[in-house]
Chains A and B, each alone.
Chain A
Amino acid sequence: MQKLVVIGAGMASGRLLEHLFDAAPGAFDVTLFNAEPRGNYNRLMLSPVLSGEKSYGEIITHDDDWYAGNTVTCRFGEKIDGIDRARKVVLSAQGETPYDKLIIATGSNPFIIPLPGHTLPGVISYRDLDDTNAMIETSATPGARAVVIGGGLLGLEAAAGLRMRGMEVTVLHNTGHLMERQLDAAAGYLLRRDLEARGINVITQAQTQSIEGNGHVARVMLVDGTELPCELVVMAVGIRPSVQLAKDAGLDVGRAITVDAQMQTSDPDVYALGECVEFAGTLFGLVAPLYDQAKVLAKTLTDQEDAFTVKELATKLKVTGCDLFSAGDFAEGADREDIVFRDPGRGVYKRLVLKDDHLIGAVMYGDTADGSWFFGLIKDATDVSDMRDTLIFGPAYQGGATADPLSAVAALPADAEICGCNGICKGQIVSAIKGGAHTLGDIRATTKASGSCGTCTGLVEQVLAVTLGDDFVMPTSQPVCKCTEFTHEDVRLLIKTKELKSQPAVWQELGWTTPNGCHVCRPAINFYLLADWPLEYQDDPQSRFVNERNHANIQKDGTYSVMPRMWGGITTPTELRAIADAADKYNVPTVKVTGGQRIDLLGVKKEDLPGMWFDLNAAGMVSGHAYSKGLRTVKTCVGTDHCRFGTQDSTGLGIKLEKLLWGSWTPHKVKLAVSGCPRNCAEATCKDVGIICVDSGYQVGVGGAAGMDLKETERLCDVPTEEEALEVTAAFVQIYRENAKYLDRPYKWIAKVGLDWVKERVVDDLENRRALVARFDLSQTIYRKDPWAPLAAKADTFAPLADLTLEAAE
């Protein structure tokens, strides 16, 4: 009888022994070592144990009777310290154990980020029963809080289990969406939504700084200063193959123990399998390939031919109620085509990736019933050209219906507000339709919906279409871009009513047909989200046009212009010297005085921008936002300070306005001017907001333009005090931010809603005016900041990633 020693009693070696005893009962005298003081159990089922849905006893796969029945000598809790291959023995605390054949199945170790404080009691990984028991124990304390670092498969299962045990749980994930290896952004968004709905706090783009506590974990600190008090920290950021033993024994080890297709290591009497092996450059973390390896190794040991191959894998998350599936390769490619299905009402997202008439990848969320069927098509490389049209509906639906573009509106509840102006909900419109109002005009006449500003017209039409079906013919309106059927106005309204707070949320809930939009919709959606949810939504630089991303104006030769802010057009000798010094230092070819009363430095190389900003910041200057869809300048005349005609302090008001409004993002650029008297030297009558000072106070005009169109301002109101002029201006800018279509200047937007509509809300309704100002102030707590300062500190990101011109020519 051959002496077979197995190091590690995990799922791979457990399956191997089963195959071995089936194929050749009594052929081997097996000794099984395990560092953990117990035999093999189903590690995949630790999540249900953690959540309380199963007990440890239920997940044991090989009990004492099984080991005894197959005469396996169990040495559990005994760690192997070394392998002497020359003498064919393994070494442990109890001495030497000889082998004819040795199998290394040491699995993997959790990766622990060496953060300050990672050795504190209360910081654990999630790998075995001991970890699971430690979590269960902590969760028993009422009010206990946990932070899970890592939003991958394991981390989320831990988070869900701890939450089910009643803990307050926060998940930290360092990239933009959860499970980014298995899911695309849209599915990641749905998963996040479901986890949040069950009370799990999710922070993406999280950068952990340290774990703190006095003798025990007390809090986790993030780089941005966020403090997360907790009693438990679970690190689930990944695993590393456990290879030290093999390495010390002199076996070939790459990223893991190198094996051939028969699971043989570089020593013909030593085999390896499971998470500790590397085959053809691949590592293994899921159970399916481990079982394949076990089958192959059993055959190898019993002298039968077989070879291990790497196969496609599918992933499912074992969290009750979160239904997701991912398989194959779902990256995009020019030679690949996407079929996307979204049902916002049910929270379903399905994406199939096709290449050359074959399915190569699938991501599904919310309804994964057809997952295994799709997985089969991927594995078998089935030609799907014949069923392509109906493929996404699954095996039971060959030749069925098409996706309903109206489902987002159909899914709205009856109390969802459709017309904000008149406070009309979907249910009232549906009642009106059932009462005989079958056209848009009828609806306006009976309910007033869409009869005021008109921005909800598209939605009202969709309610008509959903309610009347084929009897309603939809008038054509211009969608945002080819990614969606919705107009800008529809999107803005739905972002508010459905409380969509991220780009993936918009793409999913509104049924975007592309994975992540295009250059037309991305900047618009980014603006709508940050305007409506200033606290919740984080501005996305990658959805911005180059000028707003680099905070400088790109010129036709790829250089940039730099323009510091000059409040109200007032400057000082010190500022002028700093500008002159910067122009000299960075060889600025052109220095120009602009129409907005400031100085433009043109022809600056991208890599020089951060240094220049740093110098200008040091002189007390900030970005002039000469590149933004936001507040540009407030042009002023000298007013009562020096002018013999001046009626008010126009310069002072201009500076106050600029300090109030700077940094705010708007649908298009916004330019202001304040003139000290009706002679209007500051040309206030062609600005987006122009104020003319008179003896009795201030005339506030809006909707002027002097660009593609020439437009004189229309009078919004006259106000007696400077304070009120500031308040009306802020309220006007805010109502424009909240309602206008992206890239509509105020004059274009006012033409759509009517000046009276604006007046009612900004001038007449004082309460509403104050509410607008309050929302503007709230947004400004986030955005009234100089963008140059933080970017100047990240100068390396403005330089080329590498310079290969310096490499030798040959």
Chain B
Amino acid sequence: MNWIDIGALDDIPLRGARVVKTQLGCVALFRTDTDRVFAVSDTCPHKGGPLSEGIVHGNKVTCPLHNWVFSLETGQAQGADSGSITTYPVQVAAGRILLDATTLKKRSAA
């Protein structure tokens, strides 16, 4: 694990999200109503919608393009839809958001 500070909790609106650009593509950071933070892939597996622009309710987000709903905790699509998004380790310490850099590096070809 290599935790890096990527910003303050308050940089993310309550029940909202922000993105972080990584070598693996955009990662969306969600802040729920109860101040929990989740890091997941920003890209909906259905048609590539930006999940960070979806409505956050409970620990779930609804994709803004076609209303697929994902659990932010497990990354699994909810209801009748099937598919999943990658989840990444994230933690909040003293109001700062920390992402694990090692899981966000491009996997080497070797």
Contact = CB atoms under 8 A, between A and B. Distances in A.
A514 B62 CA distance: 15
Contact of A516 (B33, B48, B62): B33
A514 B57 contact: yes
B64 A516 contact: no
A330 B53 contact: no
Interface stretch (A219-227, A728-736, A800-808): A800-808
Interface string B38-79: 000000000111100111111110101101010111100000
Task: List the 7 closest A-B pairs by CB distance, nearest first.
Answer: A334-B73, A519-B62, A546-B53, A546-B64, A802-B6, A801-B18, A542-B15
A448 to B, nearest CB: 39
Nearest to A542: B15
B55 A522 contact: yes
A519 B50 contact: no
A175 B33 CA distance: 11
Given A519-B62, A802-B20, A805-B23, A175 B106 contact: no
B104 A554 contact: no
B85 interface: no
A550 B11 CA distance: 16
B44 to A, nearest CB: 10
Q: A interface, how many residues as a size bin?
A: 35 or more
Contacts of A116: none
A184 B21 CA distance: 32
A335 interface: yes
A620 B105 CA distance: 46
5 contacts: A334-B59, A334-B72, A515-B34, A800-B21, A801-B6
B55 A543 contact: yes
B69 A519 contact: yes
B12 to A, nearest CB: 7
Contacts, number: 115
A331 B26 contact: no
Interface in A310-338: 330-335
Interface string B11-33: 11111101111110010010011
Given A175-B14, A334-B74, A800-B20, A807 B58 contact: no
A558 interface: yes
Contact of A331 (B23, B35, B55, B69): B35
B106 to A, nearest CB: 7
Interface string A483-520: 00000000000000000000000000000001111110
B47 A523 contact: no
Interface in A732-788: none
Given A545-B64, A800-B26, A804-B6, A332 B59 contact: yes
Interface string A181-222: 000110000000000000000000000000000000000000
Interface string A155-186: 00000000000000000000110001000110
- In this complex, which of B6, B50, B58, B60 has the most chain A Cβ atoms within 10 angstroms of its Cβ? B58
B101 A804 contact: yes
A546 B62 CA distance: 11
Given A185-B33, A332-B36, A809-B105, A801 B7 contact: yes
A522 B57 contact: yes
A88 interface: no
Contacts of A517: 57
A479 interface: no
Contacts of A176: 14
Contact of A804 (B22, B32, B59): B22
Interface of A: 175-176, 180, 184-185, 330-335, 514-519, 522-523, 541-546, 549-550, 554, 556-558, 797, 800-805, 807, 809
A330 B33 CA distance: 11
Contacts of A541: 13, 16
A542 B16 contact: yes
A560 to B, nearest CB: 10
B34 A332 contact: yes
Contacts of B35: 180, 331
Given A515-B58, A542-B55, A800 B36 contact: no
A184 B73 CA distance: 19
A192 B55 CA distance: 26
B108 to A, nearest CB: 9
Contacts of A797: 18
A50 B67 CA distance: 52
A514 B56 CA distance: 13
Contacts of B57: 514, 516-519, 522
Contacts of B72: 334
B64 to A, nearest CB: 4
Nearest to B71: A334
B73 A807 contact: no
Contacts of B12: 801
A542 B14 CA distance: 8
A805 B22 contact: yes
B20 A801 contact: yes
Contact of B49 (A518, A542, A558, A803): A558
A557 B105 CA distance: 25
Contact of B104 (A514, A556, A804): A804
B81 to A, nearest CB: 14
B7 A184 contact: no
B26 A801 contact: no
Contacts of B22: 804-805
Given A515-B33, A541-B16, A800-B21, 20 more contacts: A331-B34, A331-B36, A332-B34, A332-B36, A332-B59, A333-B36, A333-B73, A334-B71, A334-B73, A519-B54, A522-B57, A545-B55, A557-B48, A801-B6, A801-B11, A801-B12, A804-B21, A804-B22, A807-B101, A809-B23
B21 A803 contact: yes
A460 to B, nearest CB: 31
A518 B57 CA distance: 5
A801 B69 CA distance: 23
B55 A519 contact: yes
B34 A558 contact: no
A77 to B, nearest CB: 35
Contacts of B104: 804
Nearest to B104: A804
